Structure 1
Amino acid sequence: MNTKSESVATTLEAEGITKLGVPSEKQVASIKQIVASGFLDQISVRADIVNSEVSVPKSTSIINIPYQTITLTAQSDETTDGFVYIHPHSVLAASGEMPPDMMVYQLLNLSSNRKEGVVTKARMKALVDISGKQLANIAKGSPLLTYSKPLGNKYAPKNITSSKREAYVIPRFGAAIGSGGLGWDLPVIKVVQVKNNGQWIN
């Protein structure tokens, strides 16, 4: 089989697939979810969104905006401040805009010039941004996602049958990691619960 680049290019051109159109919003969203599914334990969220003790002044540079993860937070020690930050070489660093609320990252880097007794910043190499709804969708069924009890009032559960109902719950990502208290809440979602041995299961 001839696999030279010229032959491959000729074959692709003959099949009319050398030029791909700009992906639609739906396709972009699907690609992001595919990427995120391979890095499900490598999600970061802006710390000022989930931690009331963290504030980000408008003058803060993009590479100094703290993000929270479920892994570094669980393993944090005296050599880091427990947060991660966008890598200076990331395209986000030069965007001039407030970075995404949540991102999927490929890896974390600690400074190679670490000094004893000096706190250093962990830098992340981001892949894609992701929404809370998308994260709840791909993390469903994994130990990384837990749910609150059904909400009440106008969001109270509605029976579909005697053993099935619709309910609104708050997903929490990362709560099962470490000694507890980790992770963060995601936007409210509607789920269908099934009654099993007297208990409602999502």
Structure 2
Amino acid sequence: MFENRPNRDAEVVFVGRSNVGKSTLMRELTGHNKFNTGKKPGVTRKPNHFDWNSESFMFTDLPGFGFMSGVEEDHREVIKTDIVRYIEENAEEILVGVLVVDGKSVIDIIDRHSGEGEIPHDVEMFYFLEELGIPTVVAVNKMDKVDDKDERLNDLCDRLGLYPPWEQWQDDTIAPIVAKRGQIEPLKETLRHHFHEAKRDDLLKFVK
């Protein structure tokens, strides 16, 4: 179980598979180097909180879920259960849930796990956040490695049950980014949208 959550009344959580670039994205958003990044999946095992006490606000980088080399399946399931429980228990404070996916591989991964009775982790997490009433943004990272951007994003919308074209979701749901190069403006735009909708314009300064 994840302990020691700072007592803050507004939070943005980042979820996603291991190695999709969540920690790099957090570093770009906060300008802070406390977020470990590494070639080895599963570097983040506990939530990383970056909080502003005076604003009672924080960004939280949750551990990666799904396959991790060198991590037993039982332990992967424990991590996933902890992530789900954390989000459920703090849903009222979570202003936005950001699902980070790898633009290059996400469609293949979803399709590979779409057998009968199976729901891919990414799709499941998207629906889970939505069901809890948490505004959900999909940050589609590593878009510099994608040849046909529009086709890929339309395919992703299709897999998530959103009607293409993807452009109609770019204000509030779909954010193509390249975290490594600091190209994260589309994500900031969606966060600004949701902060404004939540009547929290006081937080806009964190996503300038």
Taking structure 1 as the reference length, the TM-score comes to 0.21
Higher helix share: 2
- Higher relative contact order (CA closer than 8 Å, sequence separation 6+): 2
